[in-house]
Chain A
Amino acid sequence: MKRLALLASALLIMAMLAACAGGPASPASSGGDTTTQTDSGGSEQAASAREVLIGYTASQTGKYNVESTRQVNGLNQWMKEVNDAGGIKLADGTVVTFASKSYDDESNGDRVQELYTKLATTDGADFLISPYSSGLTSTASPIAEQYEKVMITTGAADDANYTQGYTGIYQVYTPASKYLTGAVDMLKAKAPDVKKLAVVHENDKFSTGVADAVKAYAESLGYEIVLFEGYDSATTDFAPFINKIEQSAPDAILGGGHFQDGSTFARQLAEKGVDVPYMALLVAPPEPTFADLGDAAVGVVGPSQWEPLAKFTEAAASSAGLTWVGPTGDTFVSDYQAAYNDEPSYHAAGGYVAGMMLGEAIKQAGSLDSAAVKAALDSMDLLTFYGHLKFDTSAEAHGLQVGHDMVFVQWQKDGDGNLVKQVVWPAEGATADLITR
């Protein structure tokens, strides 16, 4: 009797576990957000049509939510456009259209490998897009490589991701080491009286990479770094850092991190009335919502992967001997605004370009084979509305973005006292002069 009861309870537990597992594990009920923009003209070529599935995780919750959502919007817009245009024709006549599948990674790495494995295996994704942020991308990379999937990274700027021997990971963004060095060039050219710099940055992977690189670059140009401090990612009170800034009296502040800490930092600096003429922060200033800070935003400079104001044209491409691909900047902006009722930031452009590069590589390769698409990406050298795109093909830093450069924006007041974003660097793309805070 006792043995029987033992056996029964064992079976019960096993049944419970199996029932619990049914949801997440069985491919039949696999969920996720599948976005499909079907091509209305596709039915005529039904015999040779193929839908390509792009897999990624998005940060629908957590601290990367703002940036990640825009990135996903950009990707979705590209998918809609390419599908509306009838898809891409392969060498064998097959017409491919695109669909995507995504999960929420909650802005932390605990489940990134689990979700990417699911995308690459049971969901059958043909290609992958990276999560937002360098840390999550590093975690996803071994999975992409292991299943021999091409992964286009966007929102993952840290250089270290691309020096780990991966062969199928390609970067859309300018790498972190080149993120703020342009600001130093700008100060040298536009504000020669600046001598002392304070670098105050978020203590995370990306921002520290940027800060280390800008410190080395500024010192090589003869600037004095009077303060070099990192703050915790969750910092909401910057008073200790602001006190140190006041004590060291720099001519310019460089640093920041992501959107939330960057905008808080800028607001508190303005509230305390800190008198530093120039300030360049990462990530936050180019965001359209940075204008919500009001007067605190005035004079804040930010490096941007791309700006709506930046003009890259087909004519510029032909004069530089590059192939031009995709829409003009104006078309991208107006289409994006029509779709999302929001001005696109560079995160949106990054998402769009990640898709567009993948599509272009498939078109060049004429096939969906990973090796052929990799070869096409390796030889890619394009000009788009987002700028120049070219990848490092050496074994040491394969996939690192080497073509693209940053533009610098500054929030200024126009004649009516409204806050507007102006491009202040590089000089050839500038729409206004650099002002002090």
Chain B
Amino acid sequence: MSAQNNSGLQPPNTSAAPAPSRFRSGMMGRLLTPGLVVILVAIIAAMIYGATGGAARREAWYTVLLFVGLASSLNILLGYTGYVSFGHIVFFGFGGYIGFFAIYQLGWNLLPASLLGGAAAALLALGLGLAILRLRGAYFALATIGINEAMKALVINIPALGGPNGMVLNFGIYASYGGAAQAQWTVYWATAVLTLMVVLTSYIVKKSKFGLGLMAIREDEDAAEVMGVVAPRAKTWAYVISALFPGILGVLFFFKASNIEPAAAFNLNRSIELLVMVMLGGQGTVLGPILGAGGYQLLRTTLLTSDLALFGLKIKDIQLAVAGLLLLIIVLFIPVGFIGWLRSRSTRLRRWLE
């Protein structure tokens, strides 16, 4: 661990075109940083903690891990490329629908169905990316909302996907996964491992030349093109990578819930919550979405199930207001997010907080 690690120390915008020799010194060397250890420890600790306290704790941590995975996948587009997607949840819903259809209608096993869901979401992103990634700024953000709503309307009008009724799995299906209890454990572990993969992918992208290209686009797309970054291609691949994982996570989520409906699959609120989580933790950092999503979900769970009272009002009755207030304070005073703020305060911390 020596000089080559320093690439992580520099602010991304100044390292857009580092000396080529540094890159030849080995991908592995560049990837093994203290920051990676922090990230791995955080995810694996959460995974194990969630699995060792009975079903109720597992369920709470399932939600946490799911949203860490979703927020980290959004960060690959939002954080590195700077393209704000309000409709990221469309990949969760679309992948979920395709996979659920495979399980419900075609009788597929969960594993191939999940992979199909992920592939479908990635393909959708490929097609969409070529079209809408030409838009910039607010226009792109608006287009992503439109796509989510259009997809919801489309699904509602396809009878094979259950139309507005959606689809409901027969309880008997869990028997082939060792019973409902075992099926929930399977979904938990699959989600945990996927979340780990999303975070690792996010880290590898950040450390790669491809990632540097994305960050160059974020800082100034025209300048990046002049410097040799093929912006349309790079952006589309970032979009595809960020769509793949939500597709798989969606299949797992709806399989576990035993039913899927358009309103639940293409829930724009959930999409906006994802943006908040990424902003909270710090966009463009790998650790940021992990802490943002984890912190946000744990806060919500705690408030929802809390007995605490404030001026005679039970916090659980006003938990949305409390969560909103906290978000407002964070966005007002540390707009770069928690990890971004820490990184800006101390150069020493930067190598630990990727």
Contact = CB atoms under 8 A, between A and B. Distances in A.
B171 A205 contact: no
Interface string A1-20: 01001100110011001101
B262 A23 contact: no
Interface stretch (A117-125, A302-310, A378-386): A117-125
Given A6-B37, A23-B306, A205 B170 contact: no
A295 to B, nearest CB: 32
B38 interface: yes
A142 interface: yes
A32 interface: yes
A113 B56 contact: no
A392 interface: no
A120 to B, nearest CB: 8
Nearest to A209: B165
A142 B57 CA distance: 18
A117 B34 contact: no
A104 B319 contact: yes
Given A9-B38, A204-B261, A24 B171 contact: no
B171 A166 contact: yes
Given A24-B60, A104-B319, A31 B306 contact: yes
Contacts of B168: 138, 160-161, 164
Contacts of B63: 110-111, 114
Contacts of A118: 56, 59-60, 305
B259 interface: yes
A203 B301 contact: no
Contact of B49 (A21, A135, A161, A208): A21
B166 A117 contact: no
Contact of B38 (A2, A13, A112): A13
Interface in A101-143: 103-104, 106, 108-115, 117-118, 121-122, 135, 138-139, 141-142
A24 B301 CA distance: 6
A33 interface: yes
A116 to B, nearest CB: 9
A138 B263 CA distance: 14
A338 B22 CA distance: 79
Interface size class for chain B?
A: 35 or more
B163 interface: yes
A356 B53 CA distance: 35
| B61, B168, B308, B320 — most chain A CB neighbours (10 Å) | B168
A232 B55 CA distance: 36
> What interface size band does chain A fall in?
35 or more
Q: Which of B59, B172, B316 has the most A CB atoms < 10 Å from its CB?
A: B59
A111 B62 CA distance: 10
Contacts of B295: 20
A109 B264 contact: yes
Given A17-B49, A103-B304, A111-B63, A2 B165 contact: no
Contacts of A113: 59, 256-257
Contacts of B42: 13, 17
B194 interface: no
Contacts, number: 167
Nearest to B299: A20
B46 A17 contact: yes
Contacts of B269: 108
Contacts of A33: 314, 316
Given A24-B60, A25-B53, A230 B302 contact: no
Contacts of A13: 38, 41-42, 45
Interface in B332-346: none
Contacts of B58: 117
Nearest to A203: B164
A21 B37 contact: no
Interface in B290-344: 294-295, 298, 301-302, 304-308, 314, 316-317, 319-320
A323 interface: no
Nearest to B62: A114
Interface string B250-271: 0000001111011110010110
Interface in A161-205: 161, 164-166, 203-205
Contacts of A27: 56
Contacts of B259: 135, 138-139
Contact of A203 (B156, B170, B319): B156
Contacts of B62: 114
A32 B307 contact: yes
B329 to A, nearest CB: 18
B55 A117 contact: yes
A145 interface: yes
B312 to A, nearest CB: 15
A346 B154 CA distance: 34
A418 interface: no
B112 to A, nearest CB: 22
A146 interface: yes
A236 interface: no
A204 B260 CA distance: 11
Given A165-B171, A230-B156, A25 B258 contact: no
Nearest to A10: B41
A233 interface: yes
Nearest to B264: A109
A114 B54 CA distance: 12
A61 interface: yes
A233 B320 CA distance: 21
Contacts of A166: 171
A117 B59 contact: yes
A205 B56 contact: no
A111 B304 contact: yes
B295 to A, nearest CB: 7
A322 B263 CA distance: 42
Contact of A114 (B60, B172, B316, B319): B60
Given A111-B63, A161-B168, A164-B168, A9 B270 contact: no
A328 interface: no
B174 interface: yes
B181 interface: yes
A60 interface: yes
B31 interface: no
A203 B171 contact: no
Contacts of B314: 33
16 contacts: A21-B49, A24-B60, A25-B60, A60-B317, A103-B316, A106-B304, A114-B60, A115-B304, A138-B257, A139-B259, A142-B258, A145-B171, A146-B181, A160-B168, A164-B168, A164-B172
Task: Sort A-B residue pairs by CB-CB distance and give the 9 closest, nearest first.
Answer: A23-B302, A31-B307, A114-B59, A24-B301, A146-B180, A138-B259, A25-B57, A203-B164, A208-B164
Given A117-B58, A166-B171, 15 more contacts: A2-B1, A9-B37, A17-B49, A20-B295, A31-B305, A33-B316, A112-B257, A114-B63, A118-B305, A138-B259, A164-B168, A164-B172, A203-B262, A205-B164, A232-B152
Interface of A: 2, 5-6, 9-10, 13-14, 17-18, 20-21, 23-27, 29-33, 60-61, 103-104, 106, 108-115, 117-118, 121-122, 135, 138-139, 141-142, 145-146, 158, 160-161, 164-166, 203-205, 207-209, 230, 232-233
